[in-house]
Amino acid sequence: MGNTARCGRWLTNPPDFVWEKAQKNTPAGMTGGAGSAIARGMTDDPPFSPALLPAGFVDLLTPDARTEARGVATLMDVFASHGYDSVRPPLMEFEETYLAGAGVALAEQCFRVMDPDTRRMMVLRPDITPQIARMAATRVGGLPRPLRVSYAGTCVVVAPVAAEESSRQIMQTGIELIGPDSPEADAEVMSIGAEALMRLGVKDVSFDLTMPPFIPALLEEAGVPAAHRPALMRALDRKDAAAVAQHGGALAATLIALLDATGAAEHTVAQLAELTLPPKARIILDRLIDTVAALREICPSLRMTVDPVEFRGWKYHTGVCVTLFAVGRSEELGRGGRYICNDNEPACGLTLRPDVLFRMIPPTPARVRVYLAANADRHEAASLREQGYATVRGFASGPQAEAEARHLGCGILLTGTQRVDLA
């Protein structure tokens, strides 16, 4: 880029000091975060401020908004390079439409509003995947399979999706592979997610694989009485071997062996393969093992863990599932897995959380800004934009132009065809 080297001090978000002032000028409790007046449960109405937002909703300013926009574009570009075509479902749907199929598990996370036109209830989507499942059965039901689609959009949830988060407006970016039901299809989706994170610069990512249907199927097939299952599943959820031994009966040894087989995939897969299980449970667990092998073939160096007894938190998934974490961080980077579309067609997807991902990478640098004095040559200005600069048209000339350029965070002043370095 033109004179980038000569304007080094402007390369790290040159105009962002203006936005930093905006952040600092936001009154305490007006950001919509967990510490807002509403979140604190105040009973007296505080003086109204136009900056007040509901708890869990925030204004995203530069440089965060710029980082998100460019990051989402990067993710969508990776998806497109693998043949995933973008779709854009609506933010709102009729309640009975969204809550059919996979969406029924998300009813408690839906904001509802009455449509004044039809007088029917509508919901704000808390998750995009159920919309893809609907589209696969309706609008794109006749397209050739396998069908590969990608998406990026905002979702709204009644409660934050994790205890350590406060946001109720979340961004989702993801892919769905509809039609094939195989370990290779599962591995394709997960490997593309790994590539997307690598392209963003997110490092030390762990793919944690599980099979939510496995434990319920095992308990059912082994004949564990229904009255004993809740306590046993709570013990498995807590990874409490003593409680598992207490409630597991004849199955206790197998369940404890499954607990011991939790960890790095290269060690756990062999242990899982040697376990003696009822036939249906064996088939389900072998699918998890085969998916690990297929993913390892595509991504030999990918860090993978396996937890065969994990089942909590998977609302509508029916097969192999994965959660993405970064080593040393507690928040999820994304999650996905196998599910059934509204017409009983198999599908596998992965949803990434850009709002979490972009907190882990450096802010996207702003373009070097060029102040165009009143007499700036328009052809030279166009050339600068083609080189990647951002031009800011001014209405001053002479000494006033330079003062205004500095005030607006510009690193270069263009007067006529002459560039003046303001660094």
Residue 40 belongs to a domain: no
* Beta strands 412-415; 369-372: pairing state: parallel
- How many distinct structural domains can be found in the chain? 3
Closest CA to 189 of 168, 174, 209: 174
- Tell me the two tokens of residue 110: 């839906």
Residue 134 belongs to a domain: yes
Domain boundary among 250, 273, 303: 303
Same domain, 185 and 225: no
| String of DSSP letters for 99-129 | TSGGGGGGGGG-EEEE-TTT--EEEE-S-SH
Residue 51 belongs to a domain: no
How confident is the model over 202-248, as pLDDT tens digits?
A: 999 999 999 999 999 999 999 999 999 999 999 999 999 999 999 99
Same domain, 317 and 197: yes
Domain boundary among 303, 322, 343: 303
Residue 135 belongs to a domain: yes
Domain boundary among 282, 303, 324: 303
Q: Are 366 and 62 in contact (CB under 8 A)?
A: yes
How confident is the model over 354-409, as pLDDT tens digits?
A: 989 998 988 888 999 999 999 999 999 999 999 999 999 999 888 899 999 999 99
Q: Which positions of the chain have pLDDT values less than 50?
A: 1-14, 28-29, 34-42
CATH number of the domain residue 348 falls in? 3.30.930.10
DSSP 8-state secondary structure symbol assigned to residue 202: -
Same domain, 161 and 74: yes
Same domain, 163 and 237: no
Cβ-proximal residues to 71 (8 Å cutoff; 6+ apart), any chain:
200, 354, 357, 358, 361, 364
Same domain, 98 and 193: yes
Residue 178 belongs to a domain: yes
Could you tell me how far CA 183 lies from the centroid of its own chain? 23
Taking the CA atoms of residue 149, residue 152, residue 156 and residue 157 in that order, the dihedral angle to the nearest 10 degrees is: 60
Same domain, 142 and 249: no
* DSSP SS3 for 64: helix
Cβ-proximal residues to 13 (8 Å cutoff; 6+ apart), any chain:
62, 63, 363, 365, 366
pTM above 0.95, yes or no: no
| Residue 56, CA distances (Å) to 22, 48, 167 in order | 19, 18, 4
Residue 173 belongs to a domain: yes
- Tell me the two tokens of residue 43: 């009973």
Same domain, 381 and 345: no
Q: Are 200 and 192 in contact (CB under 8 A)?
A: no
Q: Which domain holds residue 254?
A: 213-303
* Beta strands 303-307; 263-264: pairing state: antiparallel
What pLDDT sits at residue 91? 98
Residue 354 belongs to a domain: yes
What pLDDT sits at residue 262? 93
What pLDDT sits at residue 22? 58
Same domain, 337 and 190: yes
* DSSP SS3 for 334: strand
Residue 281 belongs to a domain: yes
Same domain, 113 and 192: yes
Same domain, 351 and 373: no
Same domain, 291 and 239: yes
What pLDDT sits at residue 113? 96
Phi-psi category of residue 404: left, alpha or beta, with phi > 0 → left and psi -120 to 50 → alpha: alpha
